[in-house]
Amino acid sequence: MTPHDFIQIVLFIAILTGLTPILGTYMGKVFTGKKHIMLPVFGWLERRIFRFVGADPAEETNWKSYAFSLLMFNFIGFVFVFLIQRFQAYLPLNPENLPNVSWHSALNTSISFVTNTNWQGYAGETTMSYFVQMIGLTVQNFVSAATGIAVMLAVVRGLSRKSTDKIGNFWTDLARSTLYVLLPLSILLAIALIGQGVVQNFKPYEPIQTLQGAHQVLPMGPAASQIAIKQLGTNGGGFFNANSAHPFENPTPFSNFLQILAIFLLPASLTYSYGKMVGSARQGWAIFTVMLILFLAGLSISLYAEYSGNPVFGNLPMMEGKETRFGITNSVLFSMVTTDASCGAVNAMHDSLSPLSGMVTIINMMLGEVIFGGVGAGLYGMFIFVILTVFIAGLMVGRTPEFLGKKIGAFEVQMAIIANLATSFAILVFTAWASVSSYGLASLNNAGPHGFSEILYAYTSAAGNNGSAFAGLNSNTLFYNLTLGLVILIGRFGVIIPVLAIAGSMAGKNITPPSSGTFRTDNWLFIGLLIGVILIVGGLTYFPSLSLGPIVEHLLMNNGISF
């Protein structure tokens, strides 16, 4: 690595940290109903929407109604996205006359986009019409991110209120996140990306004759508008098959920098908003610090692995599946950010990363997508680990565990464990199934331990609602479409529902004023403990599976063995 590589990383972290309090303060105002700068622009629209819908934005509900509204809304989105894929051949904006999508692929894709996963078993440019991309997928890019923010807000309210059963209004949270946060930022980012060369049009594909006289068809479409929200909403579903490695989707190093920044921007800033909303910015910074340390640890290991030579290829820089304009550093940085943040966009093919780098991307997802994590989802996922941490710390000193003055009881710990086990169960059971079945193994692109890693990556990505892939695995089959769809659902709602239950239960509790015996959750001791719990509870579960895949592959590669 050269100083040039380090400068890019430092610049990224500096800008991210600098923007966190700015955007965090703004979002704090938006979510608590205070005056803010976007109110004159979109305030009228919010009032109009609620008049049309016939809901009272100020009317709050308990956690069960909140969860019910959320599920209902997501279900409608799921049905709609499914249907328009099944009938896209009869719908407008399909200049390439793409046929209807198969039922199991459409099912998988609609589950995946509604849940902010954006796993793609299909290739965008040869499967989806402009109509489906815009009216189906782009919409879900927005509202699935807004759903994540809504759940997070419900939890924060549960923590900061006392003796009530009300945790907010789902429709208000959804509408405000979309109107005041996601939409304005997407407009800015989309325009910046077009300035770098991302396409945005409704033209049919452009057939051309190359300089050498060959035939080439250039795909077109309204890409920039979707890519902006794909990154800001940590969705990750590419407009084209190669995702952000495609030159039309990510044409320059600057567009790449903007996209990486956009992935982390909201999850990072939300930690600050959270601090503000519970009345102590330090609480937010403590979580931010935990996330940043875990991110840097993964990045260091991954960079080390990618820059180390290996006996198979000697000291050649490992450029397989990477783009010249990004080079190794930007590819590794992107791969870390996208797997930390449950985004799933890629600017390099993760399948071709060196075994240890590939392993770090898998671990990032296995830890529960809490290293910044998905928009909203990263923070509510982190609260699960916080509850476990204060519980374990409480056991160690023999005091009732507390978090922000709320006593943590058996119910909260049970819910936290359910959320944690749901994802690990889904990952391990389905990986095991796929690796011993002929239909599971038929989709592999690589032999040996790397083949196992492809399967492990797929289910980990689905359970973490990430959506990136070791894309050599042909997942567009009946078996993978259905099992991955199921794992995505478990990974999303198996966490959201317990988390909302915790929010409801916490809201009903009283707040104990802090005393000298209170276990603080905003200092270095807590930061250290929380990291420990994340690594032990989140990570150790998966150690055996990792040793069968990337670890053994690394050892074999270092002995010059190929398959």
Partner 1 sequence: MKTLLISLKIFLVFTVLTGIIYPLFITGIAQVIFPAKANGSLLVRDRQVVGSELIGQQFDSAIYFTSRPSVILYNPLPSGGSNYGLTNIRLKELVTERKHHFYSFNQLDSQTVIPSEMLFASASGLDPHISPQAALLQVNRIAKARHFNDIYKQKLIVCINDLTEDPQFLCLGEVRVNVLLLNLEIDKIQ
Of residues 310-339, which lie at the interface with partner 1 (CB under 8 A)? 310, 312-313, 316-327, 330-331
Say whether residue 411 binds partner 1 (CB under 8 A): no
Nearer to partner 1, 111 or 194 (CB): 194
548 is a contact residue toward partner 1 (CB under 8 A): no
Residues within window 40-79 making contact with partner 1, judged by CB under 8 A:
49, 52-55, 65, 68-69, 72-73, 76-77
Which of 107, 153, 167, 194 is in the footprint of partner 1 by CB under 8 A? 194
**Number of residues located near partner 1, criterion CB under 8 A:** 122
Q: How far is Cα of residue 547 from the mean position of the Cα atoms in its chain?
A: 25
- Taking CB under 8 A as the rule, does residue 308 contact partner 1? no
Q: 339 burial class (0-12, 13-18, 19+ CB within 10 angstroms)? A: buried
Collapsed DSSP state (helix, strand, coil) of residue 207: strand
Build a one-symbol-per-residue string for 443-462: x at contacts with partner 1 by CB under 8 A, - elsewhere: --xxxxxx--x---------
CB of 283 to partner 1, least distance (A): 32
Shortest Cβ 275–partner 1 spacing (Å)? 29
Half-sphere exposure of 109 (CA within 13 A, CB side): 29
Burial (CB count within 10 angstroms: exposed 0-12, middle 13-18, buried 19+), residue 97? exposed
Q: Which of 38, 281, 31, 257 has the alpha carbon at shortest distance from 146?
A: 31
Interface region with partner 1, contact rule CB under 8 A, candidates 128-136, 413-421, 429-437, 482-490: 128-136
User: What's the Cα-to-Cα distance from 154 to each of 61, 412, 454, 506, rounded to whole Å?
Assistant: 10, 15, 36, 10
Pick from 15, 38, 64, 80 the residue near partner 1 by CB under 8 A: 80
Query: Shortest gap between Cβ of 136 and partner 1 (angstroms)?
Result: 7
Q: Which is nearer to partner 1, 273 or 453 (CB)?
A: 453
Give the binding range for partner 1 (CB under 8 A) out of 188-196, 272-280, 283-291, 455-463: 188-196
Cβ burial, residue 480 (10 Å; 0-12/13-18/19+): buried
C-alpha count within 13 angstroms, C-beta hemisphere, residue 159: 23
Residues 245-264 that bind partner 1 (CB under 8 A): 245-248, 251-254, 256-257
Residue 176 near partner 1 by CB under 8 A: no
195 touches partner 1 (CB under 8 A): yes
Q: Within 13 Å, how many C-alpha atoms sit on residue 495's CB side?
A: 32
Residue 414 CB contacts under 8 Å (≥ 6 apart), including other chains: none
561 contacts partner 1 (rule: CB under 8 A) = yes
Q: Which stretch binds partner 1 (CB under 8 A): 110-118, 346-354, 374-382, 459-467?
A: 346-354
For residues 479 and 536, what is the distance between their CA atoms, to the nearest angstrom? 32
Q: Specify the residue, 42 or 430, whose C-beta has the smaller distance to partner 1.
A: 42
Asked if 545 contacts 456 with a C-beta cutoff of 8 angstroms, the reply is yes
**Between residue 1 and residue 30, which ones bind partner 1 under the rule CB under 8 A?**
4, 7-8, 11
How many whole angstroms from its chain centre is CA 543? 22
Of residues 154 through 173, those in contact with partner 1 by CB under 8 A are 171
> Strands 406-407 and 206-209, how do they pair?
unpaired
Interface stretch with partner 1, choices 152-160, 286-294, 379-387, 552-560 (CB under 8 A) = 552-560
Q: Which is nearer to partner 1, 126 or 437 (CB)?
A: 126
User: Which pair of structure tokens corresponds to residue 105?
Assistant: 């692929």
- C-alpha to C-alpha distance for 343 and 83, rounded to whole angstroms: 25
